A and B are shown apart, each in its own frame.
Chain A
């Protein structure tokens, strides 16, 4: 039914803005008020896209990890065996579309990237990890794109 939750958020934001803002006097209170408005905007922005964003991220992460697993198949460098064991035990898929379940799966997959980080990073210039280099590039590109999606322009320098 209407209003949808994101419309409620927008309504609260507008209400707070018109009823409370004019009564604020100190610089500190005005700053806190500004932060609250920014947070309302982030919550509204992310509300509608949270589920599809997570589904897409999960699919991409699984594909990246699958590619990494293949690339590692014949690698004998230090740490490769442990990495193969981690990749052979990827977390299970979420049992539904609840945000909580999708977040758990997403975080578990990001934790796998975290575990592999020393090996992936080393692939930049370690000849024994040359086979992992293309995977390294796509993982970095994915993480960068994912971070860009989460950015809030007003808080981004440069």
Chain B
């Protein structure tokens, strides 16, 4: 991907713009399910004024940790604009490889950084941490109140009663399809999950699916954008709470969830913000489930690497996260 290709694309999308110049193209590390690129663009508007914008481009990779689609993420960003949930403004989506070899979409670049470890550990962020913890809970409660009727691309279970079993089936299917070796710990965990199904939610909610410290942008005033919606689906809202509580996101190395606050505090702030009452057994179920899901994501990545489908070394490294997840799972289901 180069400046010329991107400038030609922007020119195509904004025929009224004159002299489009693209600069500062940089690939952002991480983003193991989709390539993330940042770039700046400058052009002259019809009235002669110079316009400068920062963009983020999300492009399908050659292989990925997740089988996700651009349409869902694009649809969500579009639907959530103006909802009070901070998301980037999306501009264009391309479903074929005509412009940049693979499908992609373009959105505005928001201010802030996303690094979870910095937020949890750096003294510079100490004063903002409680603010971000509260915002994180409030925004999650807002996400769970979104009316999913108008989000047709969302995968959804047949009923509230089926929310947990639907997710179990989805991830068990992925594991069976992608595992290159037996997974006894995950088999034990699946057996546990099937015997400990949580009470169904009152209604199906929009579940972000990857809501954690590290997947939102923050700045000194607080959270500036919620990112990475590629695992969003309709389901039990407690699923998002289970995911954000797993040990992998406890960036401070202690019990604080997401490196921000205690789990009890987070649940209280979530409920106070209008989130549904969180059942302790359901929360444990979804925490076990989340560790399983995370491990299976890396099993998929390992398969891509071993089969030579990607040169992305991150997907090889993440295979070595799984032993820690196995230890955590065995402790949770012992």
Contact = CB atoms under 8 A, between A and B. Distances in A.
Given A32-B313, A117-B187, A157-B250, A147 B27 contact: no
B contact face: mostly helix, strand, loop, or mixed: helix
B181 interface: yes
Given A26-B27, A155-B320, A156-B324, A36 B313 contact: yes
Contacts of B251: 157
Contact of A38 (B182, B195, B248, B317): B317
A contact face: mostly helix, strand, loop, or mixed: helix
Interface residues of A, number: 33
Among A31, A121, A143, A151, chain B packs the most CB atoms within 10 A around the CB of A121
Contact of B195 (A28, A121, A143): A121
Contacts of B191: 117-118, 120-122
B28 interface: yes
Interface in B234-249: 247-249
Contacts, number: 106
Among A27, A28, A122, A158, chain B packs the most CB atoms within 10 A around the CB of A158
Nearest to B36: A28
A111 B182 contact: yes
B27 A155 contact: no
B45 to A, nearest CB: 31
B184 A110 contact: yes
Interface residues of B, number: 40
Interface in A31-45: 31-32, 35-36, 38-39, 42
Contacts of A110: 181-182, 184
Given A35-B313, A155-B317, A27 B330 contact: no
Across chains A and B, which 6 residue pairs bring their CB atoms closest together, nearest first? Answer: A117-B187, A31-B29, A35-B313, A121-B191, A147-B326, A28-B27
Given A120-B191, A158-B250, 11 more contacts: A27-B27, A28-B28, A32-B29, A107-B182, A113-B182, A118-B187, A118-B194, A120-B188, A149-B323, A157-B247, A157-B324
23 contacts: A32-B29, A32-B312, A32-B314, A113-B182, A113-B184, A113-B187, A114-B182, A117-B184, A120-B191, A121-B188, A121-B191, A140-B330, A147-B324, A147-B326, A147-B327, A147-B330, A151-B323, A152-B320, A155-B321, A155-B324, A156-B324, A157-B247, A157-B251
